[in-house]
Structure 1
């Protein structure tokens, strides 16, 4: 059944599904890759990180890491 939707403003949608009206299949997919240096993933109220020399050298020879096309 069709849906009549008025004005909509979506500011941010991360990791979820936004649906209007009927749907047969909902199959969200995502893939990500990240490289970070020393002390980059620290979280907390008071952090002291002392790094004299920090380098993230990444050699990625894969053309496709996680294919999403046709992966239902």
Structure 2
């Protein structure tokens, strides 16, 4: 389905294997995956950002061996 964008578009950063799509697409599949552990408000991004966190606990225990396979996407 076509989309009409009225106004500005702000792309701050696209690095590595990032994807920016501006039109119709059937499927977008990741070429690589990473896992990041961060506390509350640690991965927020924006122009006017304010976070208020009293306590933040990150559970780093990961019982499974693998999370997402992307071999077929390369």
Structure number with greater Rg is 1
> How does the TM-score come out when normalised to structure 1?
0.45
Q: Which has the higher contact order (CA 8 A, sep 6+)?
A: 2
Q: Which has the higher helix share?
A: 2
> Normalising by the residue count of structure 2, what TM-score does the alignment of the two structures yield?
0.44
